Amino acid sequence: MPGCDSTSGASPVIGVLALQGGVAEHLAALDRSGAVAKPIRRPEELDDVHGVVLPGGESTTMSRLLHSFELFDPLRERLAAGLPAYGSCAGMVLLAGEVLDPGADSGKDPAVTPFGALDVAVRRNAFGRQVDSFEAELAFTGVDGPVHAVFIRAPWVERVGRAVDVLAEITPHGSGVAGAAGRIVAVQQGRVLATSFHPELVRGDERVHRHFVQTVRAG
Protein backbone atom coordinates (compact mmCIF):
# COMPACT_ATOMS: atom_id res chain seq x y z
CA MET A 1 0.00 0.00 0.00
CA PRO A 2 1.39 3.47 -0.80
CA GLY A 3 2.39 5.72 2.05
CA CYS A 4 -0.07 8.15 3.59
CA ASP A 5 0.04 11.58 1.96
CA SER A 6 0.18 14.14 4.77
CA THR A 7 -1.00 16.89 2.41
CA SER A 8 -4.21 15.15 1.30
CA GLY A 9 -6.11 15.59 4.56
CA ALA A 10 -7.18 11.94 4.48
CA SER A 11 -7.07 10.01 7.73
CA PRO A 12 -4.37 7.33 7.77
CA VAL A 13 -5.52 3.74 8.14
CA ILE A 14 -3.78 2.15 11.10
CA GLY A 15 -4.15 -1.50 11.96
CA VAL A 16 -4.03 -2.96 15.47
CA LEU A 17 -2.74 -6.51 15.78
CA ALA A 18 -5.81 -8.25 17.20
CA LEU A 19 -4.59 -11.66 18.33
CA GLN A 20 -4.36 -10.97 22.07
CA GLY A 21 -4.02 -8.05 24.47
CA GLY A 22 -5.37 -4.51 24.70
CA VAL A 23 -6.82 -4.27 21.20
CA ALA A 24 -10.06 -2.35 21.86
CA GLU A 25 -8.30 0.37 23.85
CA HIS A 26 -5.82 1.06 21.06
CA LEU A 27 -8.55 1.08 18.41
CA ALA A 28 -10.50 3.67 20.41
CA ALA A 29 -7.43 5.83 21.09
CA LEU A 30 -6.48 5.82 17.40
CA ASP A 31 -10.02 6.78 16.40
CA ARG A 32 -9.87 9.71 18.81
CA SER A 33 -6.47 10.65 17.37
CA GLY A 34 -7.71 11.15 13.81
CA ALA A 35 -6.89 7.76 12.31
CA VAL A 36 -9.10 5.10 10.78
CA ALA A 37 -8.40 2.15 13.05
CA LYS A 38 -8.99 -1.49 12.12
CA PRO A 39 -8.16 -4.83 13.73
CA ILE A 40 -5.62 -7.08 11.98
CA ARG A 41 -6.03 -10.85 12.19
CA ARG A 42 -5.16 -12.05 8.68
CA PRO A 43 -2.13 -11.42 6.45
CA GLU A 44 -4.17 -9.85 3.66
CA GLU A 45 -5.47 -7.17 6.04
CA LEU A 46 -1.97 -5.71 6.20
CA ASP A 47 -2.29 -4.61 2.57
CA ASP A 48 -4.71 -1.83 3.49
CA VAL A 49 -2.84 -0.08 6.34
CA HIS A 50 -0.47 2.88 6.52
CA GLY A 51 0.77 1.87 9.98
CA VAL A 52 0.36 -0.81 12.61
CA VAL A 53 0.07 -0.98 16.40
CA LEU A 54 1.27 -3.98 18.42
CA PRO A 55 -0.64 -3.82 21.71
CA GLY A 56 0.22 -4.86 25.22
CA GLY A 57 -0.58 -8.38 26.31
CA GLU A 58 1.59 -11.45 26.86
CA SER A 59 4.55 -11.37 24.50
CA THR A 60 5.20 -15.12 24.44
CA THR A 61 1.54 -15.81 23.60
CA MET A 62 1.51 -13.09 20.94
CA SER A 63 4.71 -14.43 19.41
CA ARG A 64 3.22 -17.91 19.16
CA LEU A 65 -0.08 -16.64 17.72
CA LEU A 66 1.70 -14.57 15.07
CA HIS A 67 3.14 -17.79 13.69
CA SER A 68 -0.11 -19.76 14.12
CA PHE A 69 -2.07 -17.13 12.17
CA GLU A 70 0.69 -16.94 9.52
CA LEU A 71 1.14 -13.24 10.26
CA PHE A 72 4.74 -13.18 11.41
CA ASP A 73 6.50 -13.28 8.03
CA PRO A 74 4.11 -10.88 6.22
CA LEU A 75 4.32 -8.36 9.05
CA ARG A 76 8.09 -8.69 9.27
CA GLU A 77 8.31 -7.98 5.54
CA ARG A 78 6.10 -4.89 5.82
CA LEU A 79 8.15 -3.60 8.75
CA ALA A 80 11.39 -4.17 6.85
CA ALA A 81 9.88 -2.22 3.93
CA GLY A 82 9.26 0.78 6.18
CA LEU A 83 5.74 0.33 7.59
CA PRO A 84 5.35 2.69 10.57
CA ALA A 85 4.75 0.79 13.81
CA TYR A 86 4.00 1.46 17.45
CA GLY A 87 4.35 -1.15 20.19
CA SER A 88 3.21 -0.76 23.79
CA CYS A 89 4.57 -3.09 26.51
CA ALA A 90 4.48 -6.54 24.84
CA GLY A 91 4.48 -4.70 21.52
CA MET A 92 7.81 -3.13 22.45
CA VAL A 93 9.19 -6.60 23.13
CA LEU A 94 8.05 -7.86 19.72
CA LEU A 95 9.53 -4.88 17.84
CA ALA A 96 12.95 -5.23 19.50
CA GLY A 97 16.09 -6.47 17.83
CA GLU A 98 16.96 -8.56 20.89
CA VAL A 99 14.78 -9.86 23.73
CA LEU A 100 16.46 -10.62 27.05
CA ASP A 101 15.19 -13.16 29.53
CA PRO A 102 13.46 -11.71 32.61
CA GLY A 103 16.18 -13.25 34.81
CA ALA A 104 18.71 -10.61 35.80
CA ASP A 105 21.79 -12.56 34.69
CA SER A 106 20.43 -14.51 31.76
CA GLY A 107 20.78 -13.86 28.05
CA LYS A 108 18.39 -14.00 25.12
CA ASP A 109 14.83 -15.10 25.77
CA PRO A 110 13.98 -18.11 23.57
CA ALA A 111 10.25 -17.73 24.21
CA VAL A 112 9.84 -14.69 21.95
CA THR A 113 10.70 -14.24 18.28
CA PRO A 114 11.10 -10.47 17.76
CA PHE A 115 10.70 -8.57 14.48
CA GLY A 116 13.97 -6.65 14.76
CA ALA A 117 12.34 -3.36 13.75
CA LEU A 118 14.17 -1.45 16.51
CA ASP A 119 17.90 -1.56 17.22
CA VAL A 120 17.36 -2.15 20.94
CA ALA A 121 17.68 -4.89 23.52
CA VAL A 122 14.55 -5.20 25.66
CA ARG A 123 14.28 -7.13 28.92
CA ARG A 124 10.87 -8.77 29.22
CA ASN A 125 8.96 -8.33 32.53
CA ALA A 126 11.88 -6.23 33.81
CA PHE A 127 9.76 -4.28 36.30
CA GLY A 128 8.47 -7.44 37.93
CA ARG A 129 5.21 -9.32 38.19
CA GLN A 130 1.59 -8.14 38.11
CA VAL A 131 1.76 -7.11 41.77
CA ASP A 132 4.66 -4.79 40.90
CA SER A 133 2.54 -2.72 38.51
CA PHE A 134 2.79 1.04 39.05
CA GLU A 135 2.00 4.44 37.56
CA ALA A 136 4.37 7.37 37.03
CA GLU A 137 4.60 10.81 35.46
CA LEU A 138 7.15 10.94 32.65
CA ALA A 139 8.75 13.63 30.53
CA PHE A 140 8.23 12.43 26.95
CA THR A 141 10.21 14.00 24.13
CA GLY A 142 7.91 15.28 21.40
CA VAL A 143 4.90 15.58 23.70
CA ASP A 144 4.05 18.74 25.65
CA GLY A 145 3.77 18.23 29.40
CA PRO A 146 4.22 15.07 31.49
CA VAL A 147 2.67 11.80 30.39
CA HIS A 148 0.83 9.65 32.92
CA ALA A 149 2.25 6.17 32.33
CA VAL A 150 0.73 2.86 33.45
CA PHE A 151 3.23 0.00 33.80
CA ILE A 152 1.92 -3.60 33.99
CA ARG A 153 4.51 -6.41 33.96
CA ALA A 154 6.47 -4.00 31.84
CA PRO A 155 9.74 -4.39 29.95
CA TRP A 156 12.53 -1.86 29.85
CA VAL A 157 15.18 -1.09 27.25
CA GLU A 158 18.72 -2.08 28.24
CA ARG A 159 20.64 -1.14 25.10
CA VAL A 160 19.96 1.21 22.20
CA GLY A 161 21.66 1.58 18.85
CA ARG A 162 22.94 4.87 17.46
CA ALA A 163 19.89 5.41 15.27
CA VAL A 164 17.49 5.13 18.22
CA ASP A 165 16.12 8.20 20.01
CA VAL A 166 15.34 7.83 23.71
CA LEU A 167 12.00 9.55 24.41
CA ALA A 168 11.40 8.75 28.10
CA GLU A 169 13.17 7.36 31.15
CA ILE A 170 12.09 6.48 34.68
CA THR A 171 12.87 9.26 37.16
CA PRO A 172 14.63 8.43 40.47
CA HIS A 173 11.28 8.45 42.28
CA GLY A 174 9.19 7.02 39.45
CA SER A 175 9.15 3.37 40.56
CA GLY A 176 9.72 1.32 43.66
CA VAL A 177 11.58 -1.32 41.66
CA ALA A 178 15.27 -1.61 42.56
CA GLY A 179 17.49 -0.38 39.74
CA ALA A 180 14.62 1.18 37.80
CA ALA A 181 15.78 4.81 37.98
CA GLY A 182 17.09 5.95 34.62
CA ARG A 183 15.73 2.94 32.76
CA ILE A 184 14.59 3.67 29.21
CA VAL A 185 10.85 3.20 28.70
CA ALA A 186 10.13 4.91 25.35
CA VAL A 187 12.14 4.92 22.13
CA GLN A 188 11.77 5.80 18.47
CA GLN A 189 13.81 4.83 15.44
CA GLY A 190 12.59 6.49 12.30
CA ARG A 191 8.91 5.63 12.01
CA VAL A 192 8.95 2.89 14.65
CA LEU A 193 7.85 3.90 18.17
CA ALA A 194 7.71 1.80 21.34
CA THR A 195 6.78 2.36 24.98
CA SER A 196 7.08 0.11 28.02
CA PHE A 197 3.83 1.54 29.35
CA HIS A 198 0.17 1.61 28.26
CA PRO A 199 -1.01 5.06 27.09
CA GLU A 200 -4.15 3.43 25.70
CA LEU A 201 -5.34 2.91 29.30
CA VAL A 202 -5.34 6.65 30.09
CA ARG A 203 -8.60 7.74 28.48
CA GLY A 204 -8.72 11.38 27.50
CA ASP A 205 -4.98 11.66 26.85
CA GLU A 206 -4.20 10.56 23.33
CA ARG A 207 -0.92 12.47 22.99
CA VAL A 208 1.25 9.39 22.45
CA HIS A 209 -1.19 8.01 19.88
CA ARG A 210 -1.39 11.41 18.18
CA HIS A 211 2.41 11.45 18.08
CA PHE A 212 2.30 8.11 16.27
CA VAL A 213 -0.47 9.23 13.90
CA GLN A 214 1.63 12.26 13.00
CA THR A 215 4.60 9.95 12.40
CA VAL A 216 2.46 7.93 9.98
CA ARG A 217 1.23 11.08 8.24
CA ALA A 218 4.77 12.40 7.85
CA GLY A 219 5.79 9.31 5.91
Q: Which residues pair with residue 159 across a beta bridge?
A: 121
Pick the catalytic residue from 25, 26, 50, 198: 198
Is 200 marked active-site? yes
Reported in sequence order, the residue ranges of the chain that DSSP labels E, i.e. its strands, are 13-17, 36-40, 51-54, 85-88, 96-100, 118-123, 134-138, 147-151, 156-160, 165-169, 184-189, 192-195
198 a catalytic residue? yes
3-state DSSP percent of the chain in helix, strand and coil, to 5:
25, 25, 45
Which position among 4, 50, 169, 200 bears the catalytic label?
A: 200
Torsion-angle region of 194 (φ positive above 0: left; ψ -120 to 50: alpha; else: beta): beta
Please report, for the chain, how many H helices and E strands are present, in that order.
5, 12
Instruction: Select which of 4, 25, 26, 89 is catalytic.
Output: 89
Spacing of C-alpha 86 from chain mean position: 4
Active site residues: 89, 198, 200
